[in-house]
Amino acid sequence: MEEKKANNHSPKDNENKTRRDRPDRPRRSQNPHRKPKQANEPVAEKPTTETNAHITTPQKEIKRPAPEPKKPVHKKNPNQQPKAPIAHVEKPSHPKKPTAPKTNNARRGHKKQIAGPLSDAIKASLKENQEVNDLRMNPWKQIDVSNNHKIRFTPLGGLGEIGGNMAVLEDEDSAFIIDVGMSFPDESMHGVDILVPDFSYLHAIKNKIKAVIITHAHEDHIGAVPYLYKELKFPIYGTPLALAMIENKFQEHGLMEDVKYFNYITKRKQYEVGTFKIEWMHNTHSIVDACSLAVETVAGTIIHTADFKIDHTPIDNQTMDLQRYAYYGSKGVLCLFSDSTNSHNPGFTKSEAVVGKTFDTLFDLAKGRVIMSTFSSNTHRIYQAMERGIEAGRKVCVIGRSMERNIETTRRLGYVDIDEKHFIDPHEIGKYPEEQVLIVTTGSQGETMAALSRMANEEHRHVKLKPTDTVIISAHAIPGNEGSVSALMNLLVKAGVTVRYKDFENIHVSGHAGQEEQKLILRLVQPKFFLPVHGEYNHIHKHAQTAVACGVNERNILLMSDGDQVEITTKYLKKVKTVKSGKSYIDNQNNKEIHADVIDDRQKLSSDGIINLAVQIHKATKKMVEKPIVSSHGLIPNKEEKRFAHEIENIIETFLITADERNLVSSKVVQDELRAIIKKYIIRTQKRYPMINPVVFLV
């Protein structure tokens, strides 16, 4: 039996057995990582032998292959020895001791070098560089935190809106106003032309106010100055162009005596205003002589950018004074106020110079008259258009009161250098061929009384639009004016003219900084505190995010609204109270204020209508002498007037039946009672809230 079992034991069974030395590993013949045998390796098998009636497996004897004959080698180097052929030797089966992995740069026979401790000189250099970098990136750390003085900043316009910019900066002893601008009304403000800030807080602190500080001459920064000077008068500081444009407004409002308050400033020069020292720094914007402010206060230095963009190729070649930003930034700035209007725009705002190239194309395409409309204060834009028109052989006609006044002012001050011979008056337009006329006019925002709107409505005395005309609107609609601009566009298209508005990419560029320009200012100034200004809430919120990305601590940023008063010290920034703010409504036809209750009545009339009632009542009998006279407007259709009058008559009869002597004391008492009763009836039946004007005669 044992011999039979031995004969049945095959080599394959032997391979299936586990290894005694490493049971967890397969036998070498079953190892998938084992190298295959080379075909040229001769293997000699020993004859099988019997031991105790067992047949042993054949034992393989590995023989080294005979070396191949050497081939002749062409030696390039006579000292180089030929390489010996590599013999294929099978690795021994016994396990080897693990060895440490070799690194790429480690060489056999070399010990690993271990760096020694840092020297005192290196440690000192690293520490000094760290301190220098920390001070360079946080220069506000130079501010003396033991300074316990406080200043307060109060925006009264320009936050939560576009335009109407006005703010107050004050300490315990002094205060000054930054800009006094106007804004545009919305469609619900019937009969209102402009809005000016509420001056209530200025009246409350008028004894502290030392001056009005003007940053530039745009309407949203100077448009409300005449209305302020009708109530309060202070010294006013600004550049020559800004004060010259304010002087034009004073002349229009009959305030020429107040020109004595003007103080013309020089940039890069400090002016003492109460306890403050103020410097005007040149910046680039969509108007000549725009400036930022550097204010030294008792608590520290404040930088206010006002409206700006960083234009490296401005039309007048006067670039932004970034050196002064860096100068004040290196000394340590306590707080930065910065323009947020374009905070959602990535990248950089394009240079004003690109608009001139677009004008070249548009003038080449125009076959007849060219009518260009833009903001009347955008001197560079107007100058580029007039310059291109003259090069194309056209005469320039300026139409629009504000446009005429601003161009005359800039020419008088030397900002625009165009000879008088190139200008013509409106009544001379017909004397020249159409291809030789350029009209520069107002009305880019669709203002009803502006020259372009009157041309579109065929109401202008000198200009009648023709199909051969080309109208260029080189502006974007201010938020809130989209409806007016769209209505103007419709009228122009109906007139058959060629309108160039948004179909050309660079027909208009903004005057406000994009995100990358805002980042540059933040990095130059490196302030401790940051207050984004000028814009709606979503604009200042986005600007705050940009500031955080530029290293400003999120806790050192505050988002404000008009009327919020913010206290700033070397240690903290916080809102302390809210002051009265709002808008006053102005009718531009007579330059007078419209009271808020008048605007409310107009809005109610436009949305809910009006009911007029006249009735004569016999006081003794408590009956109507005759049927009441009832009329309504904007409430019910004309065909239902009789039915409605009958319902009102029934209401009055019911009231008189139930009325006692107290309800019939006087006509005014009866009017109030009838107004309340009719109001409830209209709300219940019509779901409206009309104005109700009862007139009662007691006999």
CA distances from 170 to 110, 292, 305, 426, 466 (A): 74, 18, 18, 49, 56
Tell me which residue of 615, 413, 414, 371 sits closest to 500, measured CA to CA. 371
User: What is the arithmetic mean of pLDDT over 522-548?
Assistant: 96
Q: Is the pLDDT of residue 43 over 80?
A: no
Lowest pLDDT segment from 13-17, 427-431, 662-666:
13-17
Do 162 and 480 contact (CB within 8 A), yes or no? Answer: yes
Q: Is the pLDDT of residue 378 over 50?
A: yes
Determine how many CB atoms are found less than 10 A away from the CB of residue 459. Answer: 10
| pLDDT bracket for residue 1 (50, 70, 90) | very low
Lowest pLDDT segment from 2-11, 405-414, 593-602:
2-11
Determine how many CB atoms are found less than 10 A away from the CB of residue 176. Answer: 23
Q: Is the pLDDT of residue 160 over 50?
A: yes
Name the more confident of 44 and 660: 660
Q: Is the pLDDT of residue 675 over 70?
A: yes
CATH 3.40.50.10710 maps onto the chain at 353-500
Would you state the pLDDT for residue 698? Answer: 86
Residue type, 589: Q
Q: How many CA atoms lie within 13 A of 638 on its CB side?
A: 0
Residue 670's φ and ψ, nearest 5 degrees, are -65, -40
Lowest pLDDT segment from 37-51, 207-221, 311-325, 588-602:
37-51
Residue 110's φ and ψ, nearest 5 degrees, are -110, 135
Mean pLDDT across the chain: 85
Q: Is the pLDDT of residue 527 over 50?
A: yes
Tell me which residue of 341, 237, 382 sits closest to 295, measured CA to CA. 237
Q: How many CA atoms lie within 13 A of 602 on its CB side?
A: 13
Q: How many CA atoms lie within 13 A of 256 on its CB side?
A: 4
Do 301 and 295 contact (CB within 8 A), yes or no? Answer: yes
Lowest pLDDT segment from 338-347, 520-529, 634-643:
634-643
Would you state the pLDDT for residue 426? Answer: 92
Q: Is the pLDDT of residue 83 over 60?
A: no
| pLDDT bracket for residue 539 (50, 70, 90) | very high
Name the more confident of 332 and 450: 332
C-alpha–C-alpha distance, residues 164 and 225, integer Å: 11
Would you state the pLDDT for residue 455? Answer: 93
Q: What is the DSSP string of 462-498?
A: S----TT-EEEE-S-PPTT-HHHHHHHHHHHHHTTPE
Determine how many CB atoms are found less than 10 A away from the CB of residue 597. Answer: 8
C-alpha–C-alpha distance, residues 367 and 433, integer Å: 11
CA 535 to chain centre: 7
Do 296 and 334 contact (CB within 8 A), yes or no? Answer: no
Q: Is the pLDDT of residue 68 over 80?
A: no
Residue 380's φ and ψ, nearest 5 degrees, are -65, -40
Lowest pLDDT segment from 17-26, 332-341, 443-452, 500-509:
17-26
Residue 616's φ and ψ, nearest 5 degrees, are -115, 125
Residue 168's φ and ψ, nearest 5 degrees, are -125, 130
| pLDDT bracket for residue 658 (50, 70, 90) | confident
Q: Is the pLDDT of residue 571 over 50?
A: yes
Q: Which CATH superfamily is domain 353-500 in?
A: Metallo-hydrolase/oxidoreductase (3.40.50.10710)
Q: Is the pLDDT of residue 53 over 70?
A: no
Strands 194-197 and 236-238: unpaired
595: tokens are 């009271």
User: What is the arithmetic mean of pLDDT over 138-149?
Assistant: 92
- What pLDDT digit, counting tens, does each position of 385-412 carry? 999 999 999 999 999 888 999 999 999 9
Which fold, 151-347+511-585?
Metallo-beta-lactamase; Chain A (3.60.15)
Name the more confident of 94 and 357: 357
Q: Which residue has the tokens 């006279």?
A: 629
| pLDDT bracket for residue 14 (50, 70, 90) | low
Determine how many CB atoms are found less than 10 A away from the CB of residue 51. Answer: 7
First to last CA, the chain: 148
Do 557 and 530 contact (CB within 8 A), yes or no? Answer: yes
User: What is the arithmetic mean of pLDDT over 337-352?
Assistant: 95
C-alpha–C-alpha distance, residues 671 and 697, integer Å: 9
* 3-class SS of residue 45: strand
Residue type, 329: G
CATH 3.10.20.580 maps onto the chain at 609-698
| pLDDT bracket for residue 166 (50, 70, 90) | very high
Do 585 and 195 contact (CB within 8 A), yes or no? Answer: yes
Q: Is the pLDDT of residue 438 over 50?
A: yes
- Helix and strand numbers, DSSP H then E, in the chain: 18, 31
Lowest pLDDT segment from 143-147, 368-372, 586-590:
586-590
Would you state the pLDDT for residue 474? Answer: 92
Considering the chain, what percentage of its residues have pLDDT values greater than 70?
Answer: 84
Tell me which residue of 490, 108, 538 sits closest to 340, measured CA to CA. 538
CA dihedral 375, 381, 386, 391 (to 10 degrees): -150
Lowest pLDDT segment from 10-19, 437-446, 671-680:
10-19
257: tokens are 């005596």
User: What is the arithmetic mean of pLDDT over 558-571?
Assistant: 96
C-alpha–C-alpha distance, residues 549 and 315, integer Å: 32
Tell whether domain 609-698 is in CATH 3.10.20.600: no
